[in-house]
Amino acid sequence: MSAPAQPAPAPAPQAPPPVETMTVKVNGKTVQVPKTHPDWQGKPQPATMLQAARCAGVDIPHYCYHDKLPVAGNCRMCLVEFGTPMMDPATRKPVLNEDGSPKIAKSVLPYEPGTPRGAIACATPISPGMEIYADSKATLQMREAVLESLLINHPLDCPICDQAGECKLQEYSVQHGQAGSRFVEAKVHKPKAVDLGPRIVLDDERCVLCTRCIRFSKDIAGDDALGIVNRGSYNTISAFETGKFDNNYTLNTVDLCPVGALTSKDFRFKMRVWFLKESKSVCTSCGTGCNITIGSREGVVHCYEPRENDAVNGPWMCDSGRLNYKWIGRADRLREVLVRGTRSTWSAALQDLTVRLSKAPAGSVAVVASSRQTTEELYLLKKLAARTGATTDSVAREGEADRLLVAADRNPNSNGARLTGISFTEAGIRIPEIAAAIEAGTVKTLVVFGEDVTKHGIPAATLAKLETLFVSDILPNATTALATHLLPGAAHAEKRGTFVNVKGRLQKFMKAVEAPGDARPEWEFLHELVHGVTGQNGYSTIEGLFNQMAREVPAFAGLEWAKIGDTGVDVKI
């Protein structure tokens, strides 16, 4: 390969624009708060008391407020006592205490000056010198009162509720609630197990009517499907027609719901959240590469949840991507190394392949690698191809884009394939050429990673003409059935690596579970193979491999594995 590329010149240090701040006090601590904060659409808006408290490291309890939704201010959970500097009406000067500090007028009821008057922290802008008392007696009383009223009709079925363990009602009740209920009247009963849509079940009795789900559906997903019906204590979240809440983003409402009202049909009653191991990963179902957290237990993947990344997916992901994890645990996963249909070992199979590939005359090898493989794997495959003078390509996978997240490109790493030189501007254009070369007898060895090429232009009859068909895949298909050498690979959840999304965001992902049987991460055995065939030394750790790739592939110049944060970096595509 080429000599190490020049490291990219460090970007000229840009002086960050000065942030205008305002001084307020939170629980007695003085903090400088930026005057504006981005609202749900990223537009700067005056900072609120809730945001000021966050700057002071204080989290004010809240239900309806969400950084990425329009402010509703309906739950009242965030009520806090506050005060503002007193002004002398005549001089318009601040009134000072004896020690020279400004005198603070606490907010009180106008007709009852002894009673503190709270304000909702989520929607009240701060003013200079304001004091926020997020843990004063009055604030705690307001919180208790709000919680008491929320719990009046709540069924308290935490033992069978999926939200238990990550429920805001549970958490705040433990912090601020009372042990006993003073409510002696009959509770209002509301609909249970409402079939809201194909993926969502609603328990209206648990709902705290924060309207997060309504706002998400209307303002983010663009499907104005949910609303509050009936009135008073019979208020109920509902869709016009049950069963029809079916846009491709409905499962985000389950994440958003602060309580256990909205539940996922897929996850309902399956697993306690505190048993799940969480691993940072990336969705592989389209080129957007939404950041996800994989929830797994004892080697089994149980769910994907979106992981916030404002540069890619915000806090959301689509339903189809979220539910596309079951293949990882399929019973028919490839788990054995097979040479001509007979079980073999990694060392024997790799040895045989090393000899074959080393001896292969230039031009007699071709490579078809999936854009579902990691960048590091594609890079190693390209190295292998370069050594044998092989034609390479990947397979295009197109669908329809939507207005929110889903990309038309259904491969997670098309840019990785392009940047490593596996494919060209248009993925798949060289496949007919490869098929023809096999037919003509020039190409005698085909390397296939992660694709069923019989569905993409190289029919089984053509494959039958090969001397060596070296295949690595995860699940069985028509191509793996014809392989002379079949090496079982690992799902992204079973290895570490990177993908480059459609917009050029390079993102790394971590391992959640072990690969089944003898299956191994492809980069591991590709590294051994490349070492054997080219005689060049490589790296047996993903860190070393990535850094080596970054030195050789111009688009990644200057990058280091350790320096790619959890939310990825932009590369030039």
Binding site for ligand SF4 (CB under 6 A): 207-213, 237, 256-259, 261-262, 283, 285-286, 288-290, 313, 317-318, 320-321, 405-406
- Stretch near another protein under the rule CB under 8 A, chosen from 16-24, 223-231, 293-301, 387-395: 223-231
Binding partner at 209 among another protein, ligand SF4, ligand FES, none, C-beta below 5 to 8 Å by kind: ligand SF4
How many Cβ atoms from other residues are within 10 Å of residue 555's Cβ?
Answer: 20
Q: Are residues 386 and 568 in contact, defined by beta-carbon separation less than 8 angstroms?
A: no
Query: To the nearest whole angstrom, how small is the minimum distance from the Cβ of residue 146 to ligand FES?
Result: 9
Per CB under 6 A, 78 contacts ligand FES:
yes
- Residue (77 or 194) nearer to ligand FES, CB: 77
The torsion region of residue 289 among left (phi > 0), alpha (psi -120 to 50) and beta comes to left
Binding partner at 238 among ligand FES, another protein, ligand SF4, none, C-beta below 5 to 8 Å by kind: another protein
Q: Single out the residue of 226, 256, 490, 545 in contact with another protein (rule: CB under 8 A).
A: 226
Q: Are strands 338-339 and 79-85 parallel, antiparallel or unpaired?
A: unpaired
Query: To the nearest whole angstrom, how small is the minimum distance from the Cβ of residue 74 to ligand FES?
Result: 6
Token pair of 363 as six digits: 């031009």
Q: Single out the residue of 38, 70, 155, 227 in contact with another protein (rule: CB under 8 A).
A: 227
Query: To the nearest whole angstrom, how small is the minimum distance from the Cβ of residue 221 to ligand SF4?
Result: 12
Site for another protein in 74-133 (CB under 8 A): none
Strand ranges of the sheet holding 365-369, from the earlier edge strand across to the other edge? 342-343, 338-339, 485-488, 468-473, 445-449, 365-369, 391-393
Query: To the nearest whole angstrom, how small is the minimum distance from the Cβ of residue 227 to another protein?
Result: 4
Query: To the nearest whole angstrom, how small is the minimum distance from the Cβ of residue 197 to ligand SF4?
Result: 13
- Residue (77 or 225) nearer to another protein, CB: 225
* E-strand stretches of 2-116: 21-26, 29-34, 36-38, 44-46, 79-85, 104-106, 108-109, 112-116
Helix or strand run (H / E) with residue 404: none
| Rg of the chain over all Cα atoms, to the nearest angstrom | 29
CB burial class (10 A; 0-12, 13-18, 19+) of residue 129? middle
Per CB under 6 A, 122 contacts ligand FES:
yes
The tokens 């078809």 sit on which residue?
368
Token pair of 337 as six digits: 């190394």
- Residue (133 or 316) nearer to ligand SF4, CB: 316
CB burial class (10 A; 0-12, 13-18, 19+) of residue 415? buried
Q: Single out the residue of 53, 75, 202, 378 in contact with ligand FES (rule: CB under 6 A).
A: 75
Q: Are residues 227 and 238 in contact, defined by beta-carbon separation less than 8 angstroms?
A: yes
- Stretch near another protein under the rule CB under 8 A, chosen from 46-54, 95-103, 232-240, 440-448: 232-240
Per CB under 8 A, 229 contacts another protein:
yes
Query: To the nearest whole angstrom, how small is the minimum distance from the Cβ of residue 317 to ligand SF4?
Result: 4
Per CB under 8 A, 191 contacts another protein:
no
* E-strand stretches of 474-554: 485-488, 497-500, 505-509
Token pair of 496 as six digits: 């570490």
Binding partner at 262 among ligand FES, another protein, ligand SF4, none, C-beta below 5 to 8 Å by kind: ligand SF4
The rounded distance, in Å, linking the Cα atoms of 499 and 571 is: 11
- Stretch near another protein under the rule CB under 8 A, chosen from 104-112, 222-230, 356-364, 431-439: 222-230
Q: Single out the residue of 20, 88, 157, 224 in contact with another protein (rule: CB under 8 A).
A: 224
Task: Measure Cα distances from 336 to 340, 351, 453, 507 in Å.
Answer: 12, 16, 21, 30
Query: To the nearest whole angstrom, how small is the minimum distance from the Cβ of residue 75 to ligand FES?
Result: 3
Binding partner at 230 among ligand FES, another protein, ligand SF4, none, C-beta below 5 to 8 Å by kind: another protein
**Residue closest to ligand SF4, measured at CB:** 321
Query: To the nearest whole angstrom, how small is the minimum distance from the Cβ of residue 523 to ligand FES?
Result: 46
- Residue (209 or 475) nearer to ligand SF4, CB: 209
The rounded distance, in Å, linking the Cα atoms of 293 and 499 is: 16
Binding partner at 62 among another protein, ligand FES, ligand SF4, none, C-beta below 5 to 8 Å by kind: ligand FES
Per CB under 6 A, 68 contacts ligand FES:
no
Binding mask 240-269 vs another protein (x if CB under 8 A, - otherwise)? xx----------------------------
Site for another protein in 309-338 (CB under 8 A): none
Binding partner at 261 among another protein, ligand SF4, ligand FES, none, C-beta below 5 to 8 Å by kind: ligand SF4
CB burial class (10 A; 0-12, 13-18, 19+) of residue 141? middle
Token pair of 502 as six digits: 């459609």
- Stretch near ligand FES under the rule CB under 6 A, chosen from 69-77, 200-208, 302-310, 335-343: 69-77
Site for another protein in 426-485 (CB under 8 A): none
Alpha-carbon torsion (288, 291, 293, 294), positive or negative? positive
* E-strand stretches of 394-449: 445-449
Q: Are residues 297 and 275 in contact, defined by beta-carbon separation less than 8 angstroms?
A: yes
Start-to-end CA span in the chain (Å): 20
Binding partner at 405 among another protein, ligand SF4, ligand FES, none, C-beta below 5 to 8 Å by kind: ligand SF4
Of 271, 217, 272, nearest in space to 240 by CA: 217
Q: Are residues 427 and 395 in contact, defined by beta-carbon separation less than 8 angstroms?
A: yes
Binding partner at 399 among ligand FES, ligand SF4, another protein, none, C-beta below 5 to 8 Å by kind: none
Count residues near ligand FES (CB under 6 A). Answer: 12
- Stretch near ligand FES under the rule CB under 6 A, chosen from 72-80, 136-144, 148-156, 416-424: 72-80
What is the binding site for another protein (CB under 8 A)?
A: 224-231, 234, 238-241
